[in-house]
Amino acid sequence: MAKLQLRNVWFRYSKEEDYVLRGVELDLNESELVVVRGPNGSGKTTLILVAAGLLRPENGEILLEGKPIYEQLPLARRRIGVTFQDPEDQFFNATVYDEIAFALRQLKISEDKVKACVTKIAHRLGIEHLLSRSPYRLSGGEKVKVALASILVYEPEILLLDEPTAYLTPEGKDEVMKILSELKNSGRSILIATNDLDIIKYPVDRILRIVNGKLFAEANRTLDKIC
Protein backbone atom coordinates (compact mmCIF):
# COMPACT_ATOMS: atom_id res chain seq x y z
CA MET A 1 0.00 0.00 0.00
CA ALA A 2 1.21 3.50 -0.85
CA LYS A 3 2.23 5.73 2.04
CA LEU A 4 0.35 8.72 0.67
CA GLN A 5 -2.36 8.80 -2.00
CA LEU A 6 -4.30 11.54 -3.75
CA ARG A 7 -7.52 10.32 -5.31
CA ASN A 8 -9.41 12.47 -7.85
CA VAL A 9 -8.38 15.65 -6.05
CA TRP A 10 -9.91 18.94 -7.20
CA PHE A 11 -8.89 22.23 -5.60
CA ARG A 12 -9.48 25.93 -6.21
CA TYR A 13 -8.91 28.86 -3.87
CA SER A 14 -12.39 30.30 -4.34
CA LYS A 15 -15.53 29.55 -6.31
CA GLU A 16 -14.80 32.59 -8.47
CA GLU A 17 -11.49 31.10 -9.65
CA ASP A 18 -10.55 28.24 -11.93
CA TYR A 19 -9.45 24.92 -10.47
CA VAL A 20 -5.73 24.67 -9.75
CA LEU A 21 -5.85 20.89 -9.35
CA ARG A 22 -8.16 18.93 -11.62
CA GLY A 23 -8.74 15.31 -10.68
CA VAL A 24 -5.17 14.68 -9.50
CA GLU A 25 -4.17 11.06 -8.92
CA LEU A 26 -0.92 10.27 -7.14
CA ASP A 27 0.61 7.37 -5.21
CA LEU A 28 3.73 8.03 -3.14
CA ASN A 29 5.26 4.76 -2.00
CA GLU A 30 7.69 3.81 0.74
CA SER A 31 11.34 4.23 -0.28
CA GLU A 32 10.39 6.36 -3.29
CA LEU A 33 11.55 9.77 -4.49
CA VAL A 34 9.11 11.39 -6.91
CA VAL A 35 9.61 14.73 -8.67
CA VAL A 36 6.76 16.91 -9.93
CA ARG A 37 7.95 19.48 -12.46
CA GLY A 38 6.22 22.53 -13.84
CA PRO A 39 6.62 26.28 -14.25
CA ASN A 40 5.66 28.85 -11.64
CA GLY A 41 1.89 29.06 -11.32
CA SER A 42 1.29 25.51 -12.54
CA GLY A 43 -0.01 24.26 -9.18
CA LYS A 44 3.06 22.58 -7.70
CA THR A 45 2.88 24.44 -4.40
CA THR A 46 -0.85 23.84 -4.13
CA LEU A 47 -0.23 20.14 -4.70
CA ILE A 48 2.29 20.04 -1.83
CA LEU A 49 -0.06 21.87 0.57
CA VAL A 50 -3.04 19.69 -0.33
CA ALA A 51 -0.99 16.49 -0.02
CA ALA A 52 0.15 17.60 3.44
CA GLY A 53 -3.40 18.21 4.61
CA LEU A 54 -2.78 21.95 4.95
CA LEU A 55 -5.37 22.75 2.28
CA ARG A 56 -8.61 20.80 2.00
CA PRO A 57 -9.68 19.86 -1.55
CA GLU A 58 -13.14 20.64 -2.82
CA ASN A 59 -13.46 17.06 -4.04
CA GLY A 60 -11.39 13.90 -3.73
CA GLU A 61 -9.40 12.30 -0.94
CA ILE A 62 -5.93 12.38 0.57
CA LEU A 63 -5.14 9.03 2.15
CA LEU A 64 -2.32 8.35 4.62
CA GLU A 65 -1.69 4.60 4.57
CA GLY A 66 -5.19 4.03 3.24
CA LYS A 67 -7.07 6.23 5.73
CA PRO A 68 -8.29 9.82 5.19
CA ILE A 69 -5.61 12.18 6.41
CA TYR A 70 -8.11 14.54 8.05
CA GLU A 71 -9.22 11.74 10.37
CA GLN A 72 -5.61 11.39 11.54
CA LEU A 73 -4.84 15.00 12.38
CA PRO A 74 -3.06 16.37 14.31
CA LEU A 75 -1.04 13.16 14.90
CA ALA A 76 -0.34 12.85 11.17
CA ARG A 77 1.70 16.07 11.36
CA ARG A 78 4.43 14.12 13.16
CA ARG A 79 4.71 11.76 10.18
CA ILE A 80 4.90 14.38 7.44
CA GLY A 81 7.55 17.03 6.92
CA VAL A 82 6.82 20.00 4.65
CA THR A 83 9.05 22.76 3.31
CA PHE A 84 7.61 25.81 1.60
CA GLN A 85 8.65 27.49 -1.64
CA ASP A 86 9.76 30.55 0.33
CA PRO A 87 11.66 29.25 3.40
CA GLU A 88 10.88 32.42 5.36
CA ASP A 89 7.21 31.41 5.38
CA GLN A 90 8.07 28.71 7.92
CA PHE A 91 10.52 30.71 10.06
CA PHE A 92 9.40 32.26 13.32
CA ASN A 93 12.32 31.84 15.72
CA ALA A 94 15.14 34.23 16.56
CA THR A 95 18.02 31.88 15.76
CA VAL A 96 18.73 29.01 13.40
CA TYR A 97 19.28 26.75 16.42
CA ASP A 98 15.84 27.54 17.81
CA GLU A 99 14.27 27.13 14.38
CA ILE A 100 15.65 23.62 14.01
CA ALA A 101 14.90 22.76 17.64
CA PHE A 102 11.30 23.97 17.57
CA ALA A 103 9.54 20.76 16.48
CA LEU A 104 11.53 18.64 18.94
CA ARG A 105 10.61 20.96 21.79
CA GLN A 106 6.94 20.64 20.85
CA LEU A 107 7.38 16.88 21.28
CA LYS A 108 8.62 17.49 24.86
CA ILE A 109 12.04 16.02 24.18
CA SER A 110 14.75 16.75 26.76
CA GLU A 111 16.98 19.72 25.99
CA ASP A 112 20.08 17.51 25.97
CA LYS A 113 18.51 15.32 23.29
CA VAL A 114 17.36 18.41 21.39
CA LYS A 115 20.92 19.75 21.35
CA ALA A 116 22.31 16.44 20.13
CA CYS A 117 19.74 16.18 17.33
CA VAL A 118 20.14 19.80 16.20
CA THR A 119 23.93 19.49 16.18
CA LYS A 120 23.75 16.25 14.18
CA ILE A 121 21.44 17.54 11.44
CA ALA A 122 23.27 20.89 11.25
CA HIS A 123 26.52 19.03 10.69
CA ARG A 124 24.92 16.82 8.05
CA LEU A 125 23.75 19.89 6.10
CA GLY A 126 26.91 21.89 6.73
CA ILE A 127 25.21 24.70 8.62
CA GLU A 128 26.77 24.39 12.10
CA HIS A 129 28.32 27.84 11.69
CA LEU A 130 24.85 29.36 11.26
CA LEU A 131 23.24 28.10 14.49
CA SER A 132 23.54 31.40 16.35
CA ARG A 133 22.44 33.50 13.38
CA SER A 134 18.98 34.85 12.57
CA PRO A 135 17.34 32.66 9.91
CA TYR A 136 16.04 35.82 8.26
CA ARG A 137 19.55 37.18 7.64
CA LEU A 138 20.91 34.26 5.63
CA SER A 139 21.47 33.76 1.93
CA GLY A 140 18.74 32.07 -0.10
CA GLY A 141 20.62 28.78 -0.18
CA GLU A 142 21.29 28.88 3.57
CA LYS A 143 17.58 29.49 4.24
CA VAL A 144 16.69 26.44 2.14
CA LYS A 145 19.05 24.28 4.17
CA VAL A 146 17.71 25.59 7.49
CA ALA A 147 14.14 24.90 6.41
CA LEU A 148 15.12 21.38 5.42
CA ALA A 149 16.97 20.82 8.69
CA SER A 150 13.91 21.97 10.66
CA ILE A 151 11.91 19.01 9.36
CA LEU A 152 14.64 16.37 8.98
CA VAL A 153 15.50 16.79 12.65
CA TYR A 154 12.29 15.01 13.77
CA GLU A 155 12.65 12.23 11.17
CA PRO A 156 9.25 12.26 9.45
CA GLU A 157 8.31 9.27 7.29
CA ILE A 158 7.07 11.43 4.40
CA LEU A 159 8.81 14.52 3.01
CA LEU A 160 6.88 16.99 0.85
CA LEU A 161 9.41 19.53 -0.42
CA ASP A 162 8.65 22.65 -2.42
CA GLU A 163 11.72 23.78 -4.41
CA PRO A 164 14.33 22.20 -2.07
CA THR A 165 17.19 23.03 -4.47
CA ALA A 166 16.25 26.68 -5.00
CA TYR A 167 19.09 29.20 -4.53
CA LEU A 168 21.65 26.43 -4.00
CA THR A 169 25.00 26.28 -5.75
CA PRO A 170 25.66 23.17 -7.87
CA GLU A 171 27.66 21.76 -4.96
CA GLY A 172 24.80 22.55 -2.57
CA LYS A 173 22.31 20.78 -4.83
CA ASP A 174 24.55 17.73 -4.92
CA GLU A 175 24.72 17.71 -1.10
CA VAL A 176 20.97 18.04 -0.62
CA MET A 177 20.08 15.47 -3.26
CA LYS A 178 22.60 13.03 -1.80
CA ILE A 179 20.91 13.36 1.60
CA LEU A 180 17.46 12.90 0.06
CA SER A 181 18.68 9.82 -1.82
CA GLU A 182 20.01 8.36 1.43
CA LEU A 183 16.72 9.09 3.18
CA LYS A 184 14.78 7.41 0.38
CA ASN A 185 17.01 4.34 0.65
CA SER A 186 16.32 4.23 4.39
CA GLY A 187 12.56 3.99 3.77
CA ARG A 188 11.37 7.59 3.48
CA SER A 189 8.75 8.65 0.94
CA ILE A 190 9.75 11.91 -0.76
CA LEU A 191 7.82 14.21 -3.09
CA ILE A 192 9.69 17.16 -4.62
CA ALA A 193 7.93 19.99 -6.47
CA THR A 194 10.31 22.03 -8.60
CA ASN A 195 10.96 23.91 -11.81
CA ASP A 196 14.72 23.27 -11.47
CA LEU A 197 15.83 21.69 -14.75
CA ASP A 198 18.94 20.27 -13.07
CA ILE A 199 16.78 17.85 -11.09
CA ILE A 200 16.72 15.34 -13.95
CA LYS A 201 20.42 14.55 -13.54
CA TYR A 202 19.83 13.09 -10.08
CA PRO A 203 18.68 9.53 -9.30
CA VAL A 204 14.93 9.71 -8.76
CA ASP A 205 12.25 7.06 -9.16
CA ARG A 206 9.67 8.99 -11.15
CA ILE A 207 9.35 12.36 -12.82
CA LEU A 208 5.87 13.80 -13.27
CA ARG A 209 4.76 17.00 -14.95
CA ILE A 210 1.81 19.08 -13.85
CA VAL A 211 -0.14 20.49 -16.80
CA ASN A 212 -3.53 22.20 -16.53
CA GLY A 213 -3.95 20.87 -13.01
CA LYS A 214 -3.28 17.23 -13.91
CA LEU A 215 -0.24 14.99 -13.45
CA PHE A 216 1.44 13.22 -16.36
CA ALA A 217 4.40 10.85 -16.32
CA GLU A 218 7.62 12.05 -17.92
CA ALA A 219 10.30 9.78 -19.32
CA ASN A 220 12.82 9.25 -16.53
CA ARG A 221 16.03 10.68 -17.90
CA THR A 222 18.04 10.01 -14.74
CA LEU A 223 21.78 9.84 -15.41
CA ASP A 224 24.28 7.72 -13.58
CA LYS A 225 24.26 8.38 -9.86
CA ILE A 226 26.51 11.16 -8.70
CA CYS A 227 25.83 10.39 -5.03
**Which is it for strands 80-83 and 158-162: parallel, antiparallel or unpaired?**
parallel
DSSP-derived letter for residue 209 is E
**For residue range 151-174, what is the model confidence (pLDDT) as tens digits?**
999 999 999 999 999 999 999 999
Angstrom distance (rounded) from CA 3 to CA 31: 10
Question: Would you kindly state where each structural domain of the chain is located, as residue ranges?
Answer: 4-218
Whether the per-residue pLDDT at 227 is higher than 50: the answer is no
Residue 179: how many other CB atoms lie within 10 Å: 18
Q: Does domain 4-218 match CATH 3.40.50.300?
A: yes
**For residue range 120-144, what is the model confidence (pLDDT) as tens digits?**
999 999 999 999 999 999 999 999 9
pLDDT at 54: 95
DSSP-derived letter for residue 189 is E
Whether the per-residue pLDDT at 115 is higher than 80: the answer is yes
Cβ-count burial of 27 within 10 angstroms (0-12 exposed, 13-18 middle, 19+ buried)?
middle
CA gyration radius, the chain: 17
With a pLDDT cut of 70, the percent of the chain lying above it is 96
- Asked whether 61 and 8 are in contact (CB, 8 A), the reply is yes
pLDDT mean across residues, the chain: 93
pLDDT at 1: 67
pLDDT at 101: 97
**Which is it for strands 67-68 and 59-64: parallel, antiparallel or unpaired?**
antiparallel
Angstrom distance (rounded) from CA 215 to CA 50: 14
pLDDT band at 2 (very low <50, low <70, confident <90, very high): confident
With a pLDDT cut of 90, the percent of the chain lying above it is 89
Q: Is the dihedral of CA 138, 144, 150, 154 positive or negative?
A: negative
Angstrom distance (rounded) from CA 70 to CA 49: 13
pLDDT at 218: 84
Task: Give the pLDDT mean for 45-66.
Answer: 96
